[in-house]
Structures are given as C-alpha cells and as structure tokens.
Amino acid sequence: MVYIILQVPADDPNEVKQHLSHLQVNLETFCELREQHDRVNDQEGGPTRDLVETRLVKDEEPTIEFDDSPSTEAGEQSLIYVTWETEVHPSMFGTVKKTDEG
C-alpha cells in the first residue's frame, strides 16, 4: 500500500476540491540497485536505480482532511491534507542477486 499526501495551505476544503479535478498525480516506482560493495566508494558512477513503473493515479478517490489546530498563528492559513491510497504491483518487491561469472 502506498499513500500519496498533498499538503495545501487553504481555509476552504471546497476550494481544494474544485482544484483537484485539474490535478494530475503520477506514481513512479523505482528499483534500487544495490551491490555487495559500498556504492559511495564506487568510481564507475553507474546507475543506482531503475524506473520500473509509471502510472497516473486516477481511479482512487482522495480523502480530504482539514487541520484547524490551534497551533496555527494568527494570519496563517490552515492546512488541508489530500491523501490518495493506492496499490503497488506486488511483483515489484523482490531481490536480485548479482553473480560474478568467470
């Protein structure tokens, strides 16, 4: 499960709802490439991650929460949190071992 959270300074949740129809949310999933040795000391500078999936988050209806906590100072806008809950393809989670052939 992945949560995408947008924090918006606003006083009116209805105003935020109006603008959500114009918003496009993309989810990019990366696979981090790790090797046995320390990549910090690697002088080759090869890629350290690979893009596995890119998709538009469009079918999930976001949750909208209004934060009107008293910690907000006078003159500051309140915060509204827009949260999307979506799935990541389970096959994205796995391990890949590098083997030395020689």
**Token representation of residue 78:** 């309140």
Whether this model's pTM surpasses 0.75? no
Per residue in 66-85, pLDDT tens?
887 766 566 677 899 999 99
Number of structural domains the chain divides into = 1
Please tell me the distance from the alpha carbon of residue 78 to that of residue 80, in angstroms, as a whole number: 7
Domain holding 15, by residue range, is 2-32+48-83
Per residue in 28-67, pLDDT tens?
888 877 664 455 555 555 667 888 888 888 877 899 998 8
Q: Tell me whether residue 8 is in a domain.
A: yes
Displacement of CA 89 from its chain's centroid (Å): 15
Strands 63-67 and 2-9, by their bridges, are: unpaired
Q: Tell me whether residue 39 is in a domain.
A: no
Q: Tell me whether residue 40 is in a domain.
A: no
Contact 61, 23 (CB under 8 A): no
Q: Tell me whether residue 18 is in a domain.
A: yes
User: Tokens 């496009």 sit at which residue?
Assistant: 24
Q: Tell me whether residue 25 is in a domain.
A: yes
